[in-house]
Amino acid sequence: MPAKKGIRYGYWMPVFGGWLRNVEDEQMQASWQYTSKLARRSEEIGFDLSLIAELNMNDIKGIDAPSLDAWSTSAALAAVTKSLELMVAVRPTFHLPALFAKQAANIDHISGGRLALNVVSSWWEQEAKMYGVDFERHDDRYGRTSEWLDVVNGAWSQKNYNHKGRYYNTENTVLEPKPLRAPRPPIYAGGESEAAKNLIAQKCDAYVMHGDSPEHVAAKIADMSARREKLGLEPQRAIVTSAGTLYPFMREKITQVFGCKVYNLYGSREVSDIACELPCADDPGPDRGHGGLCVAPWGNYVEILDDEGKPVPPGEEGNIAVTSLTNYAMPLVRYWIGDRGALMPESEIRNKALPGIQVLKHVSGRNVDVFRTRDQTLIDGEYFTHLLYFRPWVWKFQVIQKSYEDVLFRVVRSNGAPPRDELEEIAAKARLVQARQQLQRTERDQCRDGSENINSQSSTHKYKSIISNILWSRQT
């Protein structure tokens, strides 16, 4: 399964029943039932990956609290999910490398090529002793990790693999089938010590960092690039962005932080990878490489239409309609995504290496409903939709702003009646963001069986989850 380009969104799987040490009960059970439900729901709403931590004891809620085993849980999740990348932590001190390589390759096939590793050199001495595992000094642990990675990668890539080293020995190891993901499942790792950063630069595919200021992140990326360059390895050459409009100030900041070129990718949930920026080798200007978004001709045909569905001339903005050339199961023909944009006139196309290719001059944005306060402050409608996610009693919903003081939640019930405390929580959080105008009440219609119809389809015949009946006004 090819990796998604651009920014991806992930979360830590709550295999310890949550991640807050100061909250005893986060309403997230350390159970297969909860974890499988969460994983399936998360990919439905657009999450790209989940990091599954590996500890045999619970260091979040206390060592006597339940915790899930990372790798058996991941194997099960691989079978019940469809698109979520499973980034699973692995500690070399707890796994013989050749046996692990066999198990991981099998899980990669179960998942359809969605496995990734987060390699962690063990840190919890008490756990190691309780489970009968030798706990080495810091640099020795990284020495073991380095050799462990050699064996795993060798078994994954070679027909008959032999290794003789300080920590491990193998003889004519046969591992079939090889992992599905080529050239191998991605290997992530983090660390701040010299031993850790040297190992990551030399043998890993991605550097995991904690959140920090852009300046500190930029310094870390520059350091990692320098280490890879010193080793004769390829540094980061470009970043592809997606999931939103790439404005000039964003491009400038990303370029400054990561020290490489930035390319924009345009797509949607319904039609992925519609168009992307390509380098323009014949353009010597300062904006080189950013001459519009080239439409992928093997997958899509794009039209720009006015509100009556008639084509507008290149250069003129209109509604983006896409015809998918690859979706045979659910054909999308002249599908109005809800975005606005313009095709580039042929005389302005700078990338002459692609004659006849459609180029989007720009994508200006998407028509979406937003909520407004009386002073015209905008509130993203997705704030309200997230209030209803992961509720077992919700099958379908709409959130409607009827007036400045009145928000209506319309819900079609599933799996029982809604608990009163959850209804009160939703109402309180709705009032929280409407604090400027003192939201007086949040109405909830009677939850009925799944036969109830949710109204107000968009022009694309999609059901709108967010509807605002408030028109823009300069009045305060």
Mean pLDDT of the 64-85 span: 94
Mean pLDDT, the chain, whole residue set: 81
Tell me how far apart the alpha carbons of residues 454 and 87 are, in angstroms, rounded to a whole number: 37
pLDDT at position 455 over 50: no
Query: Which has the higher per-residue pLDDT, 138 or 5?
Result: 138
Record the tokens describing residue 191, joined without a space.
Answer: 């660390």
- Higher pLDDT, residue 157 or 433: 157
115-157 residue pLDDT tens = 999 999 877 888 888 888 887 776 788 889 999 999 999 999 9
Domains of the chain: 10-235 (3.20.20.30), 275-362 (2.30.38), 371-468 (3.30.300)
Report the range of poorest mean pLDDT among 25-34, 329-338, 352-361. 352-361
In this predicted model, which residue has the larger pLDDT, 370 or 259? 370
Q: What is the pLDDT of residues 90-107, one digit of tens each?
A: 999 999 999 999 999 999
Q: What is the separation of C-alpha 475 from the centre of its chain, rounded to a whole number of angstroms?
A: 39
- The pLDDT tens digits for 31-69 are 999 999 999 999 888 888 999 999 998 888 888 899 999
Pairing of strands 169-173, 293-295: unpaired
Residue 283 near residue 291 (C-beta atoms within 8 A)? yes
Which residues, 6+ apart, have CB-to-CB distance to 318 below 8 Å?
A: 304, 305, 306, 312, 340, 341, 342
Question: What per-residue confidence (pLDDT) applies to 463?
Answer: 66
Choice among 84-93, 163-172, 212-221, 450-459 with the minimum mean pLDDT: 450-459
Distances (CA, A) of 15 to 18, 76, 135, 341, 459: 7, 13, 24, 43, 42
Range from 271-280, 299-308, 373-382 carrying the lowest mean pLDDT: 271-280
CA geometry: angle 37, 39, 431, nearest 5 deg? 80
Q: Which residues pair with 51 in a beta bridge?
A: 12, 87
Q: Which of 27, 89, 20, 91 is nearest to 60 (CA)?
A: 20
Q: Find the mean pLDDT for residues 424-443.
A: 60
Neighbours of 400 (CB within 10 A): 21
pTM exceeding 0.75: no
Q: Cα(474)–Cα(476) distance, rounded to whole angstroms?
A: 7
If one counts every other C-beta atom within 10 angstroms of the C-beta of residue 300, the result is 22
Q: How far apart are CA 262 and CA 284, in angstroms?
A: 17
Could you give the CA distance from residue 176 to residue 173 in angstroms, rounded to a whole number?
Answer: 10
Question: What is the pLDDT, as a whole number, of residue 454?
Answer: 42
Q: Answer whether 366's CB lies under 8 Å from 435's CB.
A: no
To the nearest 10°, report the CA torsion of 226, 228, 229, 232: 160
How many Cβ atoms are within 10 Å of 148's Cβ, its own excluded?
Answer: 26
457 pLDDT exceeds 50? no
The pLDDT of residue 285: 41
- Evaluate whether 341 touches 304 at the Cβ level (below 8 Å): yes
Distance CA 413, CA 411 (A): 6
Instruction: For residue 434, name the pLDDT band (cuts at 50, 70, 90).
Output: low
C-alpha 323: how far from chain center: 25
pLDDT one-digit tens code per residue, 128-139: 888 888 877 767
- CA separation for the pair 261, 238 (Å, rounded): 5
**Matching residue, tokens 């809620």:** 61
The pLDDT of residue 5 is: 52
Range picked from 173-187, 263-277, 417-431 for highest mean pLDDT: 173-187
Of 423, 422, 412, 385, the closest CA to residue 401 belongs to 385
Query: Which residues, including other chains, have CB under 8 Å from residue 368's CB and lie 6 or more apart?
Result: 338, 381, 466
pLDDT at 385 over 70: yes
Measured between alpha carbons, how far is 37 from 46 in angstroms, rounded to an integer? 15
User: How far apart are the C-alpha atoms of 42 and 427, rounded to whole Å?
Assistant: 23
- Kindly tell me if the per-residue pLDDT of 82 is higher than 60: yes
Two tokens, residue 282: 């014949």
